[in-house]
Amino acid sequence: MTGFSLLLRGGLVADGTGAPLAARDVAVVGRRIALVDRDAAVTADEVVDVSGLVVAPGFIDAHTHSDTTALAAAAGELEAEQAFAAVRQGVTVEIAGNCGSSAFPGDFSGLAALGRAHAAVGRANHLVSLVGHGSLRAAVVGHYARAATEVELAQMAAALDEALAAGAVGLSTGLIYTPGAYASTAEVTALARVAAQHGKPYVTHLRDEMSGVEGALTEAVAIARDSGAALHVSHHKTAGKYAWGRTETTLVTFEELRASGMDITCDVYPYTAGSTGLAAMLPPWAHDGGPARLLERLRDPAQRELMRTAILDGVPGWENTVGNGGWDRISVASARRHPQHQGRTVAEIAAGFGTDPLDLVAELLVAEDGDVSIISHSMREDDVRRVLSAPYSMIGSDGVPKPGLPHPRWAGTFSRVLGHYAREAGLFGLPEAVRKMTGATAARFGLTGRGVLRDGAYADVVVFDPERVADRATFADPLAGPEGVRLVVVGGTVVVRDEEVLAARPGRVLSQ
């Protein structure tokens, strides 16, 4: 048997289905693979001895915010390490457009335009995208705290229909973020019906992941039932001191719904800290009219006082991260003009200036034109482990590639699951860990021919040392690459060898 460009010989195959490891060789021909019996007479242009290593499908990151990361890195706006943080771990497909925010409509006219932009600069791995409800709403309604008219809703539905037909993999919402937060359940349901017509999922960052998490999950379930769309809950968590331990309740809900026949899944990242924009710590009404109006309000002492009161007393329907935790649990991750603040909590910085945290936040956002990201230490380890262990959960980094000291999950999620949670903690076996990163995710998002190692599957492959694989990214050094990832193949081409990113750029923006 000849004609193979690459032969991975002597390894153990984790095929992405959760099946036990099997002694098979994996061969690459063009952009596809073939499984080869160990004693078969096979030749190839390159033969790599992977004895003692595991050969798996390339990992699929179920949840990223990396829509334009490669473009920003090519333009010198981000470190090159940001563009390669995922592929260095073995991620061969990134699923972007999450939390209601996608690159189209908005920065790009559609998926094809986004694909052309990425093709022009080159990608090491593949990208697929959801359609963000917030992006649709911003393009049609604007950043206003009002209901969409019937005409506007029809325009959003038409734009969504076109994007899904062009290959976007589902509809996403981020119902704590404006302008998506201004939408009613009925508006989201109408759009989810469009996703259902295409056989694609409704993917949601719940309206509340803290003290109101059960009610927010109930809303998401109602949207799925009334629309007919499959439901996928993004980065499921129960965050903030008033919600700790509530995964014991939410996961029972998942299980009961699945037992009744509902198609519901979730993704999760393996950390007790989250990350988002600092502006999201402010009440939704403060964002009415868009980013420029927010900055105007932040300059107004009277408006600041109203925001301070809203955080203290709460606002009906608002998650209120600070009210559920405190400024001492929120640290600055990225502030281009104030690097001295990065890695320090808002409470610590404010105390150093002798000012109130809300005033410090207002002044920082104004000085940075609203572009400040934060890390929120808001979860508990037992909750994270419960969600990781759920058979219907899959792995998503929720990576937010930004300069400064971003969350280490962008560079560490997949190696952390394999090393810490599978090997060291024994939360699940290695075949199940791989399934959560590959086959389960491919099935959820309709990525045919990916996420599995079988004859004819796409040649997206990762080879790692099961005894050494580990994350090295930390909050102090968030882009440190993983240990133990030996080889990454994308589209039949080797892009990472012995932890080094090579020059090849075979990645594409995919349509489904």
Whole-structure pTM value: 0.97
- Alpha-carbon distance of 322 to 475, in angstroms, equals 20
Considering the chain, tell me which residue range(s) the CATH 3.20.20.140 domain(s) occupy: 57-275+377-445
pLDDT recorded at residue 64: 98
- Give the class (CATH, top level) of 57-275+377-445: alpha beta
- Alpha-carbon distance of 190 to 195, in angstroms, equals 9
- Average pLDDT score, the chain: 97
Q: Do residues 100 and 135 touch, judged by C-beta distance below 8 A? A: yes
- Alpha-carbon distance of 9 to 224, in angstroms, equals 45
pLDDT recorded at residue 273: 97
pLDDT tens-digit series, residues 253-263: 999 999 999 99
Measure the CA dihedral 447/453/454/457, to 10°: 40
| DSSP character string of 200-231 | --EEEE-S-SSTTHHHHHHHHHHHHHHHT--E
pLDDT tens-digit series, residues 312-339: 999 998 999 999 899 999 999 999 999 9
Question: Rounded mean pLDDT of 453-480?
Answer: 98
Q: Do residues 29 and 43 touch, judged by C-beta distance below 8 A? A: no
> CB-based burial of residue 39 (10 Å sphere; 0-12 exposed, 13-18 middle, 19+ buried)?
exposed
Q: In terms of DSSP bridges, do strands 461-464 and 54-57 run parallel, antiparallel, or are they unpaired?
A: antiparallel
Phi, psi values for residue 291, rounded to 5°: -60, -40
Question: Rounded mean pLDDT of 437-466?
Answer: 98
Tokens of 34: 């073939």
Question: What confidence category does residue 109 fall into, taking pLDDT thresholds of 50, 70 and 90?
Answer: very high
Does the pLDDT value for residue 1 go beyond 80?
no
Name the nearest CA neighbour of 192 among 133, 147, 151, 139. Answer: 133
Tokens of 211: 């003290």
> Residues with Cβ < 8 Å from 88, sequence gap 6 or more?
411, 481, 482, 485, 488, 496, 499, 501
Question: Rounded mean pLDDT of 287-298?
Answer: 97
pLDDT tens-digit series, residues 31-71: 999 999 987 888 899 999 999 999 999 999 999 999 999 99
Tokens of 275: 């990350």
The amino acid occupying position 55 is V
Q: What is the DSSP letter of 399?
A: B
> Residues with Cβ < 8 Å from 424, sequence gap 6 or more?
none
- Alpha-carbon distance of 452 to 38, in angstroms, equals 19
pLDDT tens-digit series, residues 206-246: 999 999 999 999 999 999 999 999 999 999 999 999 999 99
pLDDT recorded at residue 2: 58
Question: Rounded mean pLDDT of 79-101?
Answer: 97
The gap from C-alpha 72 to its chain's centroid, in whole angstroms, comes to: 18
